[in-house]
Structure 1
Amino acid sequence: MDIASLIVDPAAWAALVTLIVMEVVLGIDNLIFISILTNKLPEHQQQKARRIGIGLALVMRIILLSMIFVIVSLTTPVFDLGIQGATGPHGEPSFETAFSWRDLILIAGGLFLLWKATKEIHHTIDPVPTDHAVLDKKQVATMNFGSAIFQIILLDMVFSVDSILTAVGMTDEIAIMFVAVIVTVGIMLVAADPLANFIKRNPTVVMLALGFLLMIGAVLIADGFGVHVPKGYIYAAMAFSATVEMLNMAARRRAEKKAAATGE
């Protein structure tokens, strides 16, 4: 279908809106990771790193869309372990023993997220003093910036593959996929700084966000092994946890205002 026909086709617009919503929801995971990672950089580098990271996400998605036939082939099994696993209630295998490149990418990305989130949780609970560092501040900042960009690239790759495969499953029109990806990354770019600043101002949110990354990592690994957890459950749990944390933050602010008013 040509562009002119797509513009006047209500079904195409419905598919575009649905795909944008889905891509934004999937992009939340990527954005949380970028926000937590870039907040550890020197303040003058944080915004630059976020923009580079999100820009790379857009570049990767566009490259993957231009190689759409290669991406679709990533779901073809490349090897089979041949292990007879446990079966479900209807006799179906409880996990897959045939793995595609997509499965391997998801498993690797999930393991990386588990490692990174666990490391950040440990650092948050038991921070290591840096006053004994051998390198000077400029060297440390440069090393951290390069490391942050490298880690963002790794996770961008995982989330980009998942994003494009989701788009392929929802529409056959490449033009709709391109528009949805560009709009989604634009929304991520706008939301990146406010989200990162919100996390920075509220330290307890960092632990909640790291918990989200642990859960997302576990879900990616499960998906790679063929155990598909409905995304609706995941994001409902995340929304519920975020709502509870918002209530806790409101309660703390009220207590602080009351203490300030009474001079305690």
Structure 2
Amino acid sequence: MEILAEIQTAAFWSGLLAVVWVNVILSSDNAVVIALAVRTLPGHQQNKALAWGTGGIVLVRIILTIVAVEALKYPLLKIAGAVLLLWIAIRLLVAEDGEKTIESSDNLIQAVKTILLADLVMSLDNFIAVAAAAKGSVLLLVLGLVISIPPVIFGATVLVKLMERFPIIITIGAALLGWVAGEMLVTDPLVLIWVAANLPWMEIHLPFGMEVSWAQITGAAFVLGTGKWLASRREAGGEKTA
């Protein structure tokens, strides 16, 4: 009954959308690496490797992200997580990631191992982001990961091309991470009590039972502003070097 009540709320569906969006945005590079790992396999084995790899990734991510969800219940960890999330979001905008290369494999089992290892290594920052977006709900977490991981893996090339053609997708994703980080910061057990006592105007009530906070808005604005500033500095530095 609790599950039925939860899925009938607007907060549940907005939370599910956030989990899916965050995971899709942060997993685009992983998808490319996975595609490279199976590129030399025969066609029928490519499908098997992707299917087995996808199943393994879903299981591993659910377990590790649940651990992150539980960890975020302790004081100060949400503050640390919010700072990490802001850094991840700004990095998305500044696009400082170096090239990620991985060897392809002619062996099905080895290819699956490669997929799992590559995803684990490259997704360490995803766990904290998805855990934050899930807001402590294991149901949101599991549904969000199950929905978002298969499309990312099987649509790797399409996803990356869309991001290249429509950079606004990355910008929206980075802003969403900043939004989640802002909420994460003010819901830390130590901060929450102080905010409730001193900043009663923090919450903004919207129609249909929706609520947003100035912390969320500030987090998104901080990411967009800082990302734009760092990007402009890099461009200026590149022009001077040239």
TM-score by length of 1: 0.44
Structure exhibiting the larger radius of gyration computed from Cα positions: 1
TM-score by length of 2: 0.48
